[in-house]
Structures are given as structure tokens and as C-alpha cells.
Amino acid sequence: MKKAFKIIGITFLIILVLLVAIPFAFQGQIKDMIKSFMNENLNAKVEFSDVSLSFISSFPQAHVSVEDLVITNYKPFEGQAFVTAKNIAFDMSIKELFKNANEDPIIVNSISINEALLTLKTDALGNNNYDITKENENVQASTDSSSGFAFDIKDYSISKSALTYIDEKSNTQMYITELNHYGNGTFSGEELQLDTQTTANVSMSIDSTQYLNQNKIKLDALIGMNLKEQKYTFMENKAYINQLPLVFNGYVQMIEGGQDIDITFENPESSFKYFLAVIPETYSKSIENVETTGDFKVSGVVKGRISEETIPTIDINISSNNASFKYPDLPKRVSNITINTAIKNTTGNIDDTFIDIKTLHFKIDDDVFKSNAIIRNLTKNMLVNANIDGTLNLANITKAYPIDFDKELSGILKAKLNTSFDMNAIETNAYERIKNSGSIHLSDFIFSSEDIVNPIQINKADMTFNPGNVSLNSFDAKTGTSDFKATGTIKNLLGFLLSDKKLQGNFNLNSNNFVVSDFMIEDKTASKDSNKTNAASQSLKIPDFLDCTINAKANTVVYDNLMLKDVNGTLLIKDQEANLQNLTSTLFNGVLALTGKVSTKTDTPVFDLNIGADGFDTAQSFQSLDLLQNLAPIAKVLQGKLNTVINLQGTLGSDFTPNLNTVSGDAFAELLTTSINQNEASILNKLDGALGFMDFSQLDLKNLTAKLDFSNGQVNVKPFDLKYKDINIVVSGGHGFDKTMNYNAVFQVPAKYLGSEINRLIGKLNDPEISKITIPVTANITGSYTSPKVQTDLTSGVSNLTKQLIEIEKQKLLDKGKDKANDLLGGFLGSSKKGNTKDSTTVKRDSLKTNTTNTVTEGVKNILGGLLKRKKQDTIKKQ
């Protein structure tokens, strides 16, 4: 017995080894066979990473697995993937492996496909990417021995897969995801039955209109198959669209040039609960405990031929009468529901398909809402004719139906409207083909979103719909502490609502109080209870859907720490840019004028503005405006009126104020009737100490003009003139926004301001022209505004003056000496005639030279002595 068990064990071990080893012997043969089969039959590039063969997992069957299959199209879809599959597996009898594929076909019993993506595409020229089978007379049917494979499938499966269908010609897209399909039956006879189970999510759109959006589809179908007649009959079938059950029967038969279809369907139960089941479960939630009354019926017939020219006729009807529903956890009931809708096509021409919503009525509390519509030409230029008549309390929507909005709705909507249009007219703004009439009234509506900071409370909005445009008769709203009212016209409201068109219009905007910060981003330090609705890390963007002109008028506009009064101007908004035209305001007891633009196209907003100021209070404006403080910080000590024109460009921060490090431009300023506030003038006090002859509080600043330019945080001031009594001053240089500065002030100082000693010397010279002599004294101002440093070249200036006085005195003495010489010479000549000698002339000439030299030397000593004495006295005083 022990020996028998040993033999059995050895035998079992040998079989196990063979089951593991044999596949390696046949693996290359199978791989070559699959490649050969695909290359002979497909006009496409076929790739896969590996083919494996196993006996153990499917014993007594052989299991063949193809890994990472990719089929790629050739032209005109070159490089696009037609099929990808992570794994395709075949099960077959082991004996099939010993067949010669060139003589006998290999019979496959089952197929499983895992994680496949099939893309079916038709381009605008009508080319199909799935036309990849080779047209070859030598290629026979799959049962022909030359094909290498035959199928006797008992079951098959497709799991975790997807299908994409795109038809560019008809602008149709269908996406099937989460596809799981299973079927079993016998394929070897001419008549057979296939039992299938399918689940998937389906999305479909035609001509940009979404008809299905991730709708769950479930199908359990027993299909009778007549392979000879290629007719497939639905025998016992039940489908689910979302949660709505449908039973159907009929057949599909393949015929020359297309398919013949005859299918009928209906919902097996008529409870209104199944109307809710049509809506995706994401929105309708659980409907098991929903209380309903009334009926809901769906029935349809699809009959006719599918070909390149025709579709089957369609007659689908959806109806409900005097129905209601109430969710158990919600306080409101929706009642008096009446639905009468048909989807029809009576000709077989796809363009003749239409939807006729004859009645769609419902009531919540005392609010009744009625509507009807007919939609034609679904696949091309859709034609719409709709009527709406009713009242709706928006707050009741979430109280009656479990839909989740980002923010709670509130307000009363009243509408009585008829609209008739075609989609092409919407897209091309052909307003003559857009026929609207009626009105909409909205009151007590609160709107909030991520694109705005504070919720907008619309107290009242009245619109009248006219052919081609919508009149905004009134609009009264608040946000934060701001209020605004508007009237105007909207050119393409339907284009904005139904497509990706921009909202075009002209508006007149009025506000009593408009606070710019109410429209800015939320401060990062704001409390969690803030009513602002957008993320703190984001900056305000001008909406890209706006294309409008706004004529604005506001009594008060608060911007940062500025309060602008009587604001008037025009704002053009387009492509995320706001252009300001002739914006004027009262500010700092003067008039402000603005033109230019602000753009939020880029991540960082940019601006390019021209600013004009007329009659600004100088002290107020320079104390309140950071920009002016940085352009001319010393001006904040001035009192009076200011006129200026500033051209500047740069970027804006998250609070929409200029980022000063990026600002560049130029400015021209004029000061009128200006005086100096000595308490603020630290720089002038420094100059006072360095130039004792000056009293800077007495500077003449009337009609002062200055030009400057700035960039990269640096300001360059062009030379400008000042005057103090009879002293002319020229100032030039520059400073940085970091408060550092480097200025030169050149003072043309008359000699009389240089002290009593110089004045006494000037008096001695007894010449009125000498008092007009000036010397240039340069004051170099560096450091910062809070800690200025002043250096002057007064000593060198005095030295230059001394030289001038010496030259003047010397010239005077020379001139005087000449006169005396001439007199002496005349006397000499006279005395010579009388007998005078040469020696007496020589004596007088030497005497004149000596006297002149002594006079000049005395003058220099007196001047230098006086200056040194004054300097010494000044030193003593300072000590």
C-alpha cells in the first residue's frame, strides 16, 4: 500500500511538472499564431507585451493570455489608439494546442477582456477609424482553416472597460464607462440563445446638447440569435435607466446596407416614484421612502431601418397626471404635477426628430409654475419655441427636493416669457432670428459664489424681453456696505445662458456708497464666520464672460483709505480688461481725473493709467496717497494747492493697490499758493543749519513746476527752479521708494548774504556793481527722509568770492594808477618842457606801484579776517 501511494505521488508530481513545463514549449507557437492572425486580418499596428500559456489555472482547459494589447490606426488616424486592453484571455481544450493552425482552426471556448478602451471615431470627412479589416479575397470567414481560429464560445466577459464614440460630422459624442458585460450560451448552432448581463454609465451629447450625463444603465437580456438570418430577438428583457425599470421586446436584424429594428418598451409599473427614478441617483438620492401620488408612464416604439440615409421612426410618450411627491426629511411637497411629453420622428429622416413638451406643470405651496416647449431639428441647427408662466420661491427648491447647491437660494422669481430662436442665431448673434417677449421679476434674491467676495443681495430686478435684446428696467442690489442700482440693455442673454457666449450689454450704474473692498479678496486673517465666499489665496479677476459698457455714477467711492466724492465715468469691460474713460471725482478738495486700463488676464493684475489732479490740497494728498509720498515725499510738508499729471504702469497686489516696486512712468507737477509746515520739514531744518543766511519758511513756491520719471523703485527729478528773495536755486537729483535720496541744490548767493565783514568790505569798495556779485553754493542732500545728511561747499564759494573781490580791487587800483600815471606823465612832459629831469618821473612811478600793492594786500587781509572772524563766531555760537 505504501508503495502504491508512493507511485501515485510520483505520478501526480510528474503531471504537475508537465502542467507547468509544457506551456513553455507551446508559448512561442501561440504568440506567433496570434501575431499572424492579427496581421493577416487587420490594417493597423498591433503590439502586445507578452503572451502566456497556463494549464493549472483552467485545467483541464488551456488558458492563453495576451498582455497589454494596443492596436493603433494608420492614416488618416495615424498614431491614435483604436483599442487598448490590459489583458485578453482565451480558454480552449488542451488538444487544440497540438493542431496545425495552417490546416485546422483552433477552437476557442471562452474569452475574457479586462480593462479595455475602445475608441470609435468618424472624422469630418466621414472616415471611420474602425474600418481596419483588410479587403483580401484570400481571407475567408473565421471558420475557414486559413484563418487559424474558430469560435465555439460558451461564455465571455468584458470587465472594467470603456467605449468612446465620437462623430465629428454630426457633432455627436457618447462615452460608456464602468462597462461590465457578461454573456453565456452556445455559438455553434444556427439558432441559439445568449443570456447577458450589462452595467455601465452612459453620457451622450449631440450638437453640444447634453442628453445623458453619467446615467447608470443596467440590462438583463435573453437574446435569441438566428445566425443564418442575422436576426437577434429580445425575449425576456429588463433594463434600468438610473432607477427606472423598463421591459422591452422586438428584434434587430442585419440587412444589406444597415439594420432593421422593431422594438417596443414601457415601464412595468406606473407609480410616479419612477419619474424620480429617471433622474440620476446623485441628484434624486434614495427614493425608497418617498411618498408619491399619481401615475407616471413611459412607452415607446422604435421601428424602421437604420442606414446612412435613414433612422427608424420614433414614438416615445411620457405622461403623468395630478401627481405629487414628498421626501420624508424635507418640509415641502411638490404637487399638481402634470407631464405630457413626446419624442417623435414620423419620416425616418434624422433631422425630423423633435421633442414636444406639451405640458410641464407643478406647484409648491401656493406657487404655480407652468411651461411648454417644442424643440426641433435636434441634430443640426436646433429650433426652440418655449413658454414659461409662473412663480417660484427659490428657497423652496431645496425644501422640496434633495438637491445640494453651493449656497442657499432665496428670493421670488416671477416669469411670463415666450422665446423662439435657433442655436445658430445664438452662436452668431443673429438677433433678428431671436424672438423674445415677456418679462421676469426677481426680488429678495441672494447670490454668492467663489468668484465674488460678499454675497450680492438683489432687492429687485425687472427685465423685459424684446426681439434681439433684454431691457434691464431696474436692478437694486447690495453687497457688503455697498449699494448700487442699474438700468440698461443686454444683447445676448440667451447666448450667455445657453452657450459659451459673452454677456454683452450697456448699463447705467448708480450708487450712493460704493466700497471697493466689498469686491476684493478675503483677508487671510479674516474670521471663519466671514460672509466672503472666495478663497483667501486668490485675487479678484475681471470675469471673462463680460463684454459691456458701464456708465457709472456714485456719490461716494471708498478705495483703500481714500474717499472719492461725486464719481462719474465710463467703464468698458472686455476680455478680462477694464478700460476707464473720463472718470472724474472730487478728492482732497480738488478734482481727480483717470483714464487707462486694468487687466487681469495674467496671474498678476497689471495697470496702465493716466492720473490728473486739479487743485488738490497738497498736504492731504501727500499724506493719504502712498504713491505720491513715494514720488515726492518732501511735498507732504507743503501746504497749498497742487496740479499734477502722472502716467504710470505696473502690477497690482491682491487688494488691487499698486505694487510700488513694479511701478514706472513719469509725472509733471505744479504747486499753487504754497507754504511750508515747519513742523514736518526735517530736511529744510538741516539746510537751515547749514546755510545760516536762509530762512526756508520764506521760500517762494508759487507756480513751482517739476518733472520726474520713475522705474524700479527709483525716482529721477529733472532740474527745477526755486527762489528765496533774490537767491535763485536749482534742484536736481533723485530718491528711492526705500526713502534714500541723493539731491543737489545749487544756490546763487549774492555776496551781501555772506556776513557783516564782507558787507563792510563791499562798502569800502564803494561800487554798487559789487553788491550784485553771486557765488554758487551747492548743498548735497543724502541719507533718508527721516535722517537726512547735508553737506555744502560754502568755504570754496567764499574763496571764489575773495578772488573776485581781489581782482576787482586790483583792476580798480590799476585803473586808478593809470590815471595817476597819465597825470604824472602829463606833468612830466610839461615840466620837461620847463626843464624837469627823468629821475623825478621814475620816483613817482615806483611810488604808484607800492601804493597799489599795499591797497590790494590790505583788502585781502580784511576780507579773510572778516570771514575767519565770522567763522570763529559761528563756531563759538554752536559750542
Give the pLDDT mean for 489-499: 77
Cell 475681471: give the residue. Answer: 542
Average pLDDT value for residue range 834-861:
43
What span, in angstroms and rounded, lies between the C-alpha atoms of 603 and 744? 41
Taking only the tens place, the pLDDT of each residue in 378-398 is 877 889 999 999 999 988 988
First to last CA, the chain: 131
Q: What confidence tier does 681 reach under pLDDT thresholds 50, 70, 90? A: low
Mean pLDDT of the 286-304 span = 90
Tens of pLDDT, residue by residue over 694-706, are 877 777 777 788 8
Mean pLDDT calculated for residue range 13-24: 39
Highest mean pLDDT among 129-133, 286-290, 768-772: 286-290
The residue assigned the cell 597825470 is 823
3-state secondary structure of 622: helix
CA distance 123 to 534: 42
Is the sign of the CA dihedral 307, 311, 313, 318 positive or negative?
Answer: positive
pLDDT at 34: 63
Mean pLDDT, residues 149-177: 82
For the segment 726-750, the average pLDDT, to the nearest whole number, is: 89
Range scoring the smallest mean pLDDT among 352-361, 601-610, 823-832, 834-843: 834-843
Per-residue pLDDT band at 774 (split at 50, 70, 90) = confident
Q: Would strands 149-167 and 106-122 be described as parallel, antiparallel, or unpaired?
A: parallel
Nearest alpha carbon to residue 519 among 655, 698, 626, 374? 655
Give me the pLDDT at residue 680, please.
59
Cα atoms found within 13 Å of the Cα of residue 678, Cβ hemisphere only: 8
What single-letter DSSP state applies at residue 652? Answer: B
Torsion of CA 795, 796, 800, 805, to 10 degrees: 10
Domain coordinates of the chain in residue numbers?
Answer: 1-169, 187-404, 795-878
pLDDT at position 817, please? 67
Query: Would you place residue 189 in the very low, low, confident or very high pLDDT band (cuts 50, 70, 90)?
Result: low
Give the tens place of pLDDT for each residue, 63-91: 778 888 888 888 888 888 888 889 888 77
- Strands 258-266 and 297-306 turn out to be antiparallel
Average pLDDT over residues 165-188: 82
pLDDT at 239: 87
Residue 320 pLDDT greater than 50, yes or no: yes
Least confident range of 14-23, 427-436, 709-718, 798-807: 14-23
- Check residue 225 and give its pLDDT: 82
Q: What is the DSSP letter of 42?
A: B
C-alpha–C-alpha distance, residues 367 and 365, integer Å: 6
Neighbours of 575 (CB within 10 A): 12
- The mean per-residue pLDDT over the stretch 234-260 comes to 85
pLDDT reported for residue 824: 59
Q: Is the pLDDT of residue 856 over 50?
A: no
The whole-angstrom distance between residue 786's C-alpha and the CA centroid of its chain comes to 42
Q: By the 8 A CB rule, do 776 and 797 touch? A: yes
Q: How far, in whole angstroms, is CA 756 from its chain's centroid?
A: 73
* 313-326/297-306 β-pairing: antiparallel
pLDDT digits (tens, 9 = 90+) for 328-362: 999 999 999 999 999 999 999 888 999 999 999 99
Work out the average pLDDT over 215-226: 86
The three cell numbers locating residue 297: 408612464
State pLDDT tens for residues 612-635: 989 888 778 877 777 787 888 777
Residue type for position 691: L
Each residue's pLDDT tens digit, 450-466:
656 778 899 999 999 88
Which band of pLDDT confidence, cut at 50, 70 and 90, is reported for residue 231?
A: confident
Closest listed residue to residue 599, CA positions, set 548, 558, 540, 549: 540
CA distances from 286 to 281, 395, 398, 706 (A): 7, 22, 15, 76
Amino acid present at 496:
F
Is residue 302 within 8 Å of 263, Cβ to Cβ? yes
Average pLDDT (194-209) is 82
Average pLDDT, the chain: 78
